């Protein structure tokens, strides 16, 4: 129920903003980053919702599937991100590509090369295009740099670790969503401010009040584990029956929303 609700209420609600941003011929700084951040939320809640539905249905049939997402946008390093994001895919890439290529058994240069090749191939697994390859290359290079940095025990301000990791992930989502080389360049030019900074009329039209509410809810869900650990460490579910009322309510509301709007297919159905 929770997986279905976040897919319909959050991922599908943010889809029009993402589509509008990535269709702009010259997106501004605000347009590009708004579309990029909304896509980061969309793909997370779409695929995490899909995974949660599979896990829940499996549990109903007596199968216990492992978690596929563990708060990936709270990762402090790029290695940590891949321990939390799409765990079934990252585990497969590690076991059948990285280790098969030699892993870290043949020296540093070979290790960095294997990391690069593993993620580049992982990008091409999503589709045979330069944009998917670029997504994989960005992650491969980031993983290699992070490994080099940690092995050399080079100093780095810990306060910068999280924002740099998140910024790398967000930049990498741009070619992943653009799905073309030209579209990627257009969005990247907007993200670095080459097309101005103000929000465009097209983006203003799609930013309905309800959409802004769901964007805030999406951010609250993503960052709640960190807030809980920092300010409410003793807060735990009591397991009472009434705690099931909120997912049931959201589930019924999501059904009503879905019946009144055109459905958006799961993003990962295209891969």
Residue linked to tokens 């584990």: 225
pLDDT tens digit at each of 271 positions of the chain? 999 999 999 999 999 999 999 999 999 999 999 999 999 999 999 999 999 999 999 999 999 999 999 999 999 999 999 999 999 999 999 999 999 999 888 888 999 999 999 999 999 998 888 899 999 999 999 999 999 888 777 767 778 899 999 999 999 999 999 988 999 999 999 999 998 899 998 899 898 888 889 999 999 999 988 888 877 777 777 677 777 888 899 999 999 988 887 777 888 777 6
Could you tell me the pTM of the whole model? Answer: 0.92
* Cβ 4 vs Cβ 250: under 8 Å: no
The boundaries of the domain holding residue 44 are 2-270
Active-site annotation, residues? 126
Nearest to 81 by CA among 12, 192, 162: 162
**Cα torsion through 187, 191, 194, 196, rounded to 10:** 110
Q: Which residues contact 99 (CB under 8 A, 6 or more apart)?
A: none
């Amino acid at each position: 129920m929770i997986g279905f609700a976040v897919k319909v209420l959050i991922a599908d609600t943010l889809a029009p903003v993402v589509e509008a941003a990535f269709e702009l011929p010259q997106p501004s700084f605000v347009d590009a980053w708004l579309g990029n951040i909304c896509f980061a939320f969309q793909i997370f809640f779409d695929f995490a919702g899909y995974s949660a539905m599979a896990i829940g249905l499996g549990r109903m049939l007596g199968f216990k599937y492992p978690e596929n997402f563990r708060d990936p946008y709270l990762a402090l390093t790029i290695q940590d991100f891949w321990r939390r994001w799409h765990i079934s895919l990252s585990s497969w890439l590690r076991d059948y590509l990285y280790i098969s290529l030699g892993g870290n058994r043949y020296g540093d240069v070979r290790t960095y090369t294997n990391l690069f090749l593993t993620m580049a191939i992982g990008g091409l697994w999503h589709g045979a295009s330069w944009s998917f390859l670029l997504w994989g290359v960005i992650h491969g290079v980031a993983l290699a740099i992070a490994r080099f940095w940690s092995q050399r025990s080079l100093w780095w301000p810990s306060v910068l670790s999280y924002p740099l990791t998140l910024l790398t992930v967000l930049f990498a989502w741009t070619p992943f969503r653009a799905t073309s080389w030209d579209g990627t360049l257009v969005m990247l030019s907007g993200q670095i401010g080459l097309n101005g900074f103000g929000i465009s009329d097209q983006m203003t039209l799609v930013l309905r009040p309800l959409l802004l509410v769901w964007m805030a809810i999406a951010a609250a869900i993503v960052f709640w584990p960190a807030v809980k650990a920092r300010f409410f460490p003793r807060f735990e579910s009591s397991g009472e029956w009434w705690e099931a009322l909120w997912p049931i309510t959201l589930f019924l509301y999501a059904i009503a929303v879905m019946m009144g709007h055109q459905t958006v297919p799961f993003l990962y159905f295209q891969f």
